Structure 1
Amino acid sequence: MRRPLVTDIDDLVARLRAAFATGRARPLAWRREQLTRLRSLFTEHRGDIADALYADLRKPRADAFATEIDFPVREIDHTLHHLDGWLRPRPVSSGALAGLPDGSTALTQYDPLGTVLIIAPWNYPVQLLLVPLVGALAAGNTVVLKPSEVTPATSALMARLVPQYLDTRAVAVVEGGVPETTELLAQRWDHIFYTGNGTVGRIVMRAAAEHLTPVTLELGGKSPVFVDRDVDLARVAARLAAAKFRNAGQTCVAPDYVLTDPETAPALAAALGAAVEALFGPDPRSSQAYGRIVNERHFDRVAALLGSGTTAFGGQTDRADTYIAPTVLTGVKPDEPVMQEEIFGPVLPIVEVAGLDEAIAFINDRDKPLALYGFTENETTRRRLADETSSGGLGFGLPMAHLRVPELPFGGVGESGLGNYHGPHSLATFSHRKARLDVPLR
Structure 2
Amino acid sequence: MHAVTDTYNAQRRFFDSGATRPYAFRKAQLKQLKKVIKRHEAAILGALYADLHKHPMEAFGSEVGLLYDEIDHTLTNLRQWMRPQPVSSPLLHYPSGSKIYPEPKGLTLLIGPWNYPFQLLINPLIGAIAAGNCAILKPSEMAPQTEAVIRKVIAEAFDPAFVTVITGEGHLVIPEIMQHRFDHIFFTGSIPVGRKILEMAAPHLTPVTLELGGKSPCIVDKSADLKTAARRIIWGKCWNAGQTCIAPDYVLAHHSIVTPLLEHMKTAITQFFGDNPAESPDYARIINEKRFDQLTAYLQQGTIETGGVTDRAGKYIAPTILTNVSFDAPVMKEEIFGPVLPLIPYRETDEAVAMIAKNPYPLSLYLFSGSSKTEKTFIERVAFGGGCINNTLVHFTNAELPFGGVGYSGMGRYHGRSSFEEFTHMKGVMKTATWLDVPVKYPPFGNKIRLAKMIMK
Q: Deviations over 1:369-427 (max 9, x none)?
A: 00111000011100000111100013101111111111111000010001110000000
Establish whether residue 117 from structure 1 lines up as the match of residue 109 from structure 2.
yes
Match of 1:67? 62
**1:194 aligned to which of 187, 199, 204:** 187
Question: Among 255, 268, 291, which residue is 2:261 paired with?
Answer: 268
State the distance in 1 between where 2:148 and 2:61 align: 21
Counterpart in the other structure of 2:399: 406
Asked whether 1:245 is paired with 2:234, we answer no
* 2:329 aligned residue (315, 333, 336): 336
Match of 1:132 among 111, 118, 124: 124
Report the Cα distance in structure 2 between the residues aligned to 1:393 and 1:284, rounded to whole angstroms: 30
Structure 1 residue 97, shift from structure 2 partner: 3.0
Q: Secondary structure at the match of 1:75?
A: helix
Which residue is equivalent to 2:83?
A: 88
CA drift of 1:260 comes to: 1.4
Q: Deviations over 1:177-227 (max 9, x none)?
A: 121112112211000000000111011000100100000000000000110
Which amino acid is 2:164 matched to? A
TM-aligned CA deviation for residue 366 of structure 1? 2.1
Of 68, 73, 79, which aligns to 1:78?
Answer: 73
Root mean square deviation of aligned Cα:
1.0
Give the whole-Å Cα distance in 2 for the aligned partners of 1:255 and 1:80: 32
Q: Which residue does the alignment assign to 2:389? A: 396
Partner of 1:437: 430
Q: Is the 8 A contact 1:386 1:394 kept in 2?
A: no
Matches within 5 A, 1:143-222: 143-177=135-169, 178-222=171-215
Equivalent position SS for 2:425: strand
Q: What is the distance in 2 between the residues matched to 1:294 and 1:309?
A: 24
2:455: which partner in 1?
Answer: none
After the TM superposition, which of the residue ranges 336-345 and 216-225 deviates more from structure 2?
Answer: 336-345
SS in 1 for 2:92: coil
Q: What TM-score do you get using the length of structure 1 for normalisation? A: 0.97
Q: Which residue of 2 aligns with 1:3?
A: none
317-326 or 263-272: bigger deviation:
263-272
Aligned length: 434
Shift of 1:7: 3.0
Query: Where does residue 446 of structure 2 map in the other structure?
Result: none
Q: Would you identify which runs of 4 or more consecutive aligned residues in structure 1 move more than 6 Å? A: none
- Partners of 1:406 and 1:237 lie apart in 2 by 26
Question: Is residue 348 of structure 2 the alignment partner of residue 371 of structure 1?
Answer: no
Instruction: Give the structure 1 partner of residue 273 of structure 2.
Output: 280
SS in 2 for 1:307: coil
Q: Is the 8 A contact 1:129 1:147 kept in 2?
A: yes
- Contact 1:221/1:252 (8 A) holds in 2: yes
Task: For residue 123 of structure 1, give the secondary structure of its aligned residue in structure 2.
Answer: coil
Q: Give the Cα separation in 1 of the matches to 2:434 and 2:137.
A: 46
Q: Distance in 2 between matches of 1:351 and 1:53?
A: 34
Residues 269, 330 of structure 1: 8 Å contact kept? no
Distance, in Å, in 2 between the alignment partners of 1:50 and 1:359 is: 40
Candidates 3, 6, 23, aligned match of 2:18: 23
Unaligned runs of 5+ in 1: 1-5
Amino acid at match of 1:163: A
Q: What CA distance in whole angstroms lies between the structure 2 residues aligned with 1:230 and 1:32?
A: 48
Secondary structure class of the residue paired with 1:367:
coil
Q: What is the DSSP-based 3-state SS (H/G/I as helix, E as strand, rest coil) of the residue aligned with 1:334?
A: coil
| Conserved? CA contact 1:260–1:355, under 8 Å | no
Deviation at 1:351, TM superposition (A): 1.3
- Which of 1 and 2 has greater Rg? 2
Distance 2:393 2:240 in 1: 13
Q: Which amino acid aligns with 2:134?
A: T
* 2:99 equivalent in structure 1: 107
Q: Is 2:342 the counterpart of 1:349?
A: yes
Q: 2:250 aligns with which of 257, 268, 280?
A: 257
Unaligned runs of 5+ in 2: 436-457
Q: CA deviation at 1:101?
A: 3.2
Work out whether residues 97 and 105 of structure 1, in 8 Å CA contact, stay in contact via their aligned partners in 2. no
